[in-house]
Amino acid sequence: MADLLDRVHDLYDELEKHRVMLSFKGGLSPELITVLLGLIERKLDGIEPDARARKRVFNVVVECLQNLFHHNGHLRASTEGVERTDEPHGVVMIARTDKGYSVLTGNFMRGSDVSQLKSHLDRINSLDAEALREWYRAKLSDGQYSQVGGGGLGMIDIARRSGGKLEYAFVPYDKDNAFFSLNVNVNT
């Protein structure tokens, strides 16, 4: 009991130390994403005086949460390794940093999809702002749609608004699955 109560204080300290604005782990639905976005928008209104920075951070959060929702292995960690979930499942944390904001997301994905996503992210990281804009324009007008409409624009848009490099890691989990973590720094 005392142990558990100590952990609450540790959790508070941890969240305070890392200047966490929002942290969530669990199943995601469009309704829940609406709620999370409402929360983060309110917090940004309170702490970020620069409207352009506010918009950039909000846009990155929208794209990151929707990536988490759409590109998701529908798996969660369990004592047996991983288990299937009905809803997309993942973790998100949004924190302030010395230079701006950090948007962290994580989810399980199929191991066989890792190399394709990795090369997409590496290509994005190799391009400067002007080249990213050109690539975005070319992809926007290529007439190809994903099932929900985005057609591969999400990560490019995130990188453009971040203004920095995308930080990512893939941790192999079991023979079929990997855990994908992404950190997007939005410098203001």
* CB 46, min distance to another protein, A: 10
* Residue 154 binds to another protein (criterion: CB under 8 A): yes
Selected binder of another protein within 1, 2, 141, 175 (CB under 8 A): 141
Q: Is 68 in the site for another protein (CB under 8 A)?
A: no
Q: Which is nearer to another protein, 59 or 181 (CB)?
A: 59
Which listed residue (161, 165, 167, 188) binds another protein by CB under 8 A? 161
C-beta of residue 108 within 8 angstroms of C-beta of residue 177: yes
Report which DSSP code applies to 1: -
Please tell me the distance from the alpha carbon of residue 83 to that of residue 130, in angstroms, as a whole number: 42
Report helix, strand or coil for 149. coil
Q: Compute the distance between CA of residue 115 and CA of residue 45 in angstroms, rounded to an integer.
A: 38
The answer for residues whose C-beta is within 8 angstroms of residue 85's C-beta and 6 or more apart is: 27, 74, 75, 76
Instruction: Please select the residue that binds another protein; options are 23, 66, 187, 188, rule is CB under 8 A.
Output: 66
For another protein, the closer of residues 33 and 178 by Cβ is: 33
Place of tokens 């929707």: 66
Give the N- to C-terminal CA distance of the chain in Å, as an integer: 43
| CA 70 distance to own-chain centroid | 12
Among 16, 128, 149, 175, binds another protein (CB under 8 A): 149
The least distance separating another protein from the CB of residue 18, rounded to whole angstroms, comes to 26
Question: Which residues form the interface with another protein (CB under 8 A)?
Answer: 30, 33-34, 37-38, 45, 50-52, 54-56, 58-59, 62-63, 66, 69-70, 133, 136-137, 140-141, 145, 147-151, 153-154, 156-157, 161
